[in-house]
Structure 1
Amino acid sequence: MQNAQWQQTQANLKPYLDFGSSAINPLRAAMGYDANWNPMTDNILNQTFKAPTASDAAATPGYQFTLDQGLKAVQNSASARGLGTSGAAMKGAAGYATGLADSTYNDVFNRALQTFNTNYGVTANRVNRFSNIVNNGQNAAATNGSFGAQAMNSIGDTLMSGANAAAAGRVGSANALSAGLSNAGNNALLYGMMTNNAGGGASGAQSYPVNNYYAGVNGTPIS
């Protein structure tokens, strides 16, 4: 019965063990490692955030158009004031370009950082989900091992108790048989002594009734 219960416990825990084991390889991949536990550089968990460059900001869609239109507006404003291509006009154009570049770069940087953090969080969340599944399987394995040890100890104790009981029964039987044989031997010896004393001795010896023989004083029979 103990062994049957142990087998049932294993069957009950098997789905959790299998589910936990099935998540080990996906967990390893989600963490950014290949089958040999070498880090994969294309996994975001193995990367650090790289800030965009000014060239990246300049390559932003619409940036060049906005810059061109802004510079034309600055130049037109300067021409309307009779400044044309004077130093003041050039300074105004340079200031506009610098301001646009700074503003655009900040936008590009923030978007890049937000994208990195979002992708990192998605991957980390996937790792956590797989890790929870593996941990559940690990707990099931530990529980299975604990129950197995308890079952083996209980079965061992039961077998030992049965062996001790069987041995005690055999010893008791042997003792009873020995006592019986001893009593039988003693009875036979007593019977032989009584028979000899009752007339089974040498010729001419006087015989006496058994009961009277033991009734005398100092060995003197009573007739």
Structure 2
Amino acid sequence: MSSSAASDAADAQAQAANNAAQMQWQQFQQMQKNLQPYMSAGEYNLPQLGNQLGNLSRMNFSFNPTQDQLEQTPGYQFTLQQGLKGVDNALSAKGLNLSGAQAKGISQYTTGLADQTYQQQYQNALQQFMTNYGLQSDTYNRLAGLVNLGENAAAGVGNAGLQTANNAGNFLTSGANAQAAGRIGSANAINSGLGSAAQGGLLYSLLNNGGSPAGANTIYGTTSSGNPIYFQ
């Protein structure tokens, strides 16, 4: 009875350990399933993130227009014509038409307009570049956010997997130890029972042979009083 109880208890403990390990595994699978969309999002956007990083690295601001290009700026010719007309009128009022002063005035105005136009176009080009760079950076950051989300999800699954493996291993080891202890306990109970049975048989034999072990009279012989010789 003691042997069967020890074995049953060990089996129950081992089964409980196996159930706990299985529950750990099921929880890990559910967690992996829940995080799979985020891992997929990160995996899908990772190549696009690399491409976008390449786009950003190739963006360099450069502004080197020629004079002809500046003169093609919308409104440049109109401003030039109006400015020259103003210079002519001012010099004409002073009687300086077709003079060196007129030529100098025209040159100064033309140069000043070119410098002003250059600065305006430079600022326009820089602003456009920064706008484009900001848009590209925003795209990169959004992709990086998705990739980081996937990376964190994958790291979470990996850590959970390691923890699950450790916990399941501990549960299974505990169950195996319980079964081993149960077998040892069962064997001890059987041996104890056999020992008790043997002692009981010996006692029974003594009682049924006048207090002497069965066969003692035959082996050792008897005294005149009928007792085995070794009792003398």
Contact 1:30/1:127 (<8 A) preserved? yes
Write the mapping of 1:1-223 to structure 2, written as runs, cut at 5 A. Answer: 1-32=23-54, 43-55=55-67, 56-189=69-202, 195=209, 197=212, 201=217, 202=221, 205-207=224-226
Contact 2:70/2:117 (<8 A) preserved? yes
- Cα deviation for residue 115 of structure 1 reads 0.6
- Cα deviation for residue 118 of structure 1 reads 0.9
Cα distance change of structure 1 residues 153 and 44 upon mapping to structure 2, 3 Å threshold: closer
> What whole-Å deviation, never above 9, does each CA across 1:59-91 have from its counterpart, x for those lacking one?
312213322332233224323432121101101
> What whole-Å deviation, never above 9, does each CA across 1:12-39 have from its counterpart, x for those lacking one?
111111122122122122212xxxxxxx
- Cα deviation for residue 165 of structure 1 reads 0.7
Structure 1 segments unaligned to the other structure (5+ residues): 33-42, 214-218
User: 2: CA distance between counterparts of 1:58 and 1:18?
Assistant: 53
- Normalising to structure 2: TM-score of the pair? 0.76
User: 2: CA distance between counterparts of 1:205 and 1:154?
Assistant: 76
> What whole-Å deviation, never above 9, does each CA across 1:195-223 have from its counterpart, x for those lacking one?
38379514775336xxxx9xxxxx67xxx
Contact 2:24/2:164 (<8 A) preserved? yes
Cα distance change of structure 1 residues 44 and 20 upon mapping to structure 2, 3 Å threshold: closer
The structure showing larger relative contact order (alpha-carbon pairs under 8 Å, at least 6 residues apart) is: 2
- Normalising to structure 1: TM-score of the pair? 0.79
User: 1: CA distance between counterparts of 2:40 and 2:226?
Assistant: 96
Cα distance change of structure 1 residues 73 and 191 upon mapping to structure 2, 3 Å threshold: same
Q: C-alpha root-mean-square deviation of aligned residues, in Å? A: 2.6
**For 1:31, what is the secondary structure of its paired residue?**
helix
Q: Which stretch shifts more, 178-187 or 117-126?
A: 178-187
User: 2: CA distance between counterparts of 1:44 and 1:3?
Assistant: 44
Cα distance change of structure 1 residues 199 and 7 upon mapping to structure 2, 3 Å threshold: closer
User: 2: CA distance between counterparts of 1:179 and 1:83?
Assistant: 137
Structure 2 segments unaligned to the other structure (5+ residues): 1-22
> What whole-Å deviation, never above 9, does each CA across 1:96-123 have from its counterpart, x for those lacking one?
1111111111100110111111111111
User: 1: CA distance between counterparts of 2:88 and 2:153?
Assistant: 75
User: 2: CA distance between counterparts of 1:4 and 1:61?
Assistant: 70
User: 1: CA distance between counterparts of 2:82 and 2:61?
Assistant: 33
Q: How many residues align?
A: 201
